[in-house]
Chains A and B, each alone.
Chain A
Amino acid sequence: QSALTQPASVSGSPGQSITISCTGTSSDVGGYNYVSWYQQHPGKAPKLMIYAVSNRPSGVSNRFSGSKSGNTASLTISGLQAEDEADYYCSSYTSSSTPVVFGGGTKLTVL
């Protein structure tokens, strides 16, 4: 069981917006601004999409945005495209044990 909770799957049609949630505790997501989001296509390495809750690395589309409220972080993808279909993982620093924890991952399907 992963330390951070994500929905197993979400879906949306091209052009729509979707949001993926990542719920933790005050020892991780809620207590620190160290939430990251990764995109992983089948058979590929993860790719950093968001760091420090809401920052986009150079080269990442501005269709991807991150936010946080309390113990829940969110990744929003606007203007869905077929290429966005992938698995998405959140991660956070945690003070409780292992320094970094991941979520269980969310499979995004573009209908």
Chain B
Amino acid sequence: QVTLKESGPALVKPTQTLTLTCTFSGFSLSTRGMRVSWIRQPPGKALEWLARIDWDDEKFYSTSLKTRLTISKDTSTNQVVLTMTNMDPVDTATYYCARGGYGAYDLDYWGQGTLVTVSS
């Protein structure tokens, strides 16, 4: 049974760095072909893809946010961490992590999401 769960602060101040952790079970990120992505969704708005890390430690980032994002993995604890620097109120959103599916660029299992509010 594949599960993912996001954790992190619910509230961050502008200019601070956000650190989110995705803890998963039911698969291993050291297995060939496995991938974990981060996606966010501002309240009432569309999904936005942020970053991805693959089993071989290859990393991909949103072009518009690349300078602010870092993704990493710890296969021993089944966790993927996303950091986003210089947070701004426009970064207020629900942040999801999701597993890459069979189609190479689809996301077949999602976490429940965690709402992050950026406010002073």
Instruction: Tell me whether A51 and B64 are in contact in the complex, defined as CB-CB below 8 angstroms, given that A89-B46, A101-B49, A102-B46 are known contacts.
Output: no
- CB pair B104–A45 under 8 Å, yes or no, is no
Within 8 A of B (CB), among A94-111: 97-105
In Å, the complex CA distance between A46 and B96 comes to 9
Query: Which of B37, B47, B60 is within 8 Å of A89, CB to CB?
Result: B47
Q: How many A-B residue pairs have CB under 8 A?
A: 74
**Residue A91 is within 8 A (CB to CB) of chain B in the complex:** yes
Please name all residues of chain B whose beta carbon is closer than 8 Å to the beta carbon of A104 when the two chains form the complex. Answer: 46
Cα distance, A105 to B98, chains bound together (Å)? 18
Q: Report how far A38 CA is from B46 CA in the complex, Å.
A: 12
Complex Cα distance A47/B99, Å? 12
Residue A64 at the B interface, CB < 8 A? no
Most buried by A among B63, B106, B107, B108: B106
Cβ–Cβ contact A36 & B47, under 8 A: no
What bracket does the count of chain A residues touching chain B fall in? 20 to 34
Are the C-beta atoms of B107 and A97 separated by less than 8 Å? no
CB distance from B90 to the nearest CB of A (A): 15
Chain B count of residues within 8 A CB distance of the other chain? 26
Tell me whether A36 and B103 are in contact in the complex, defined as CB-CB below 8 angstroms, given that A45-B96, A102-B46 are known contacts.
Answer: yes
Contact in complex: A98, B101 (CB < 8 Å): no
For window 80-120 of B, CB contacts with A under 8 Å fall at 96, 98, 101-108, 110-113
In B48-98, the 8 Å CB interface with A consists of: 48-49, 52, 60-64, 96, 98
Report the separation of the CA atoms of residues A101 and B48 in the bound assembly, to the nearest whole angstrom.
7
B52: contacting residue among A36, A45, A92, A99, CB under 8 A = A99
**Partner of A98 from B63, B103, B104, B108 at Cβ < 8 Å:** B63
* Contact of A14 with B by CB under 8 A: no
**27 pairs from A and B in contact (CB 8 Å cutoff):** A34-B104, A34-B105, A34-B106, A38-B47, A45-B112, A45-B113, A46-B107, A46-B110, A48-B107, A48-B108, A51-B102, A51-B103, A51-B106, A52-B103, A52-B104, A55-B102, A57-B108, A89-B46, A92-B105, A93-B105, A98-B63, A99-B49, A99-B52, A100-B37, A102-B49, A105-B46, A105-B47
